[in-house]
Chain A
């Protein structure tokens, strides 16, 4: 059973386009994180969202946590080739009682110059 579903699985776009990646679950998360992973490397944390409805911006990246804390989205404006990578959401469904994160299925993004 996959607790965190991401969509789309694959996305290939041209430089300058906008895109949105979704992370959905039937479980409530006390917090949710987004990571980016480049080939041959481990994931790198981009942001953590905690409050339902929270919006965080990181340059051209906008992260939103759903009001019910069951879903999240990542929007990239004017994508650049450097944005290419595997985007992973990860959530804590244990209320912070443990440090065990459940990772999503991933979205592989390719930005063509």
Chain B
């Protein structure tokens, strides 16, 4: 595919259940980001992967949130014991990861709308 692909596009779950959100970045992009967006709001940084470096997890809101990136490509964001305040759109982005943001262009997926009942 030409763009960043996220699945599922919508996820409805019950409070306390675990969910997994998937991101397929653009081929050749070494950097991958997860952001969270509440309704009509800006984006909240969650986690950043760059090549084989240790991920920057500084934005994860609690230890219920975790993410991995296998083989430097596909990434999965896992939320354990979901809470109602976890309801949001989870956006994934990838970039060439040249180092530094001056020339970086982030390509975003369409997001996963998570609703926790």
Q: Enumerate chain A interface residues (CB-CB to B < 8 A).
A: 4, 6, 30-31, 33, 40-45, 48, 50, 86, 88, 90, 92, 96-106, 108
Contact = CB atoms under 8 A, between A and B. Distances in A.
A24 to B, nearest CB: 13
A6 B95 CA distance: 25
B87 interface: no
A101 B101 contact: yes
11 contacts: A30-B101, A31-B101, A42-B4, A42-B109, A42-B110, A45-B106, A90-B43, A92-B102, A96-B100, A103-B42, A103-B43
Contact of B40 (A43, A90, A101, A106): A106
Contacts of B44: 103
A99 B31 contact: yes
Contact of A101 (B50, B97, B106): B106
Interface in B49-82: 50, 56, 58
B48 A100 contact: yes
Nearest to B40: A108
> Interface range on chain B: under 10, 10 to 19, 20 to 34, or 35 or more?
20 to 34
Contacts of B50: 99
Interface of B: 4, 31, 33, 35, 40-45, 48, 50, 56, 58, 91, 93, 95, 97, 99-111
A35 to B, nearest CB: 8
Nearest to B101: A92
B64 to A, nearest CB: 21
Contacts of A98: 48, 56, 101
Nearest to B31: A99
Top-9 shortest CB links A-B? A42-B108, A96-B100, A92-B101, A103-B43, A103-B42, A105-B42, A31-B102, A106-B42, A104-B42
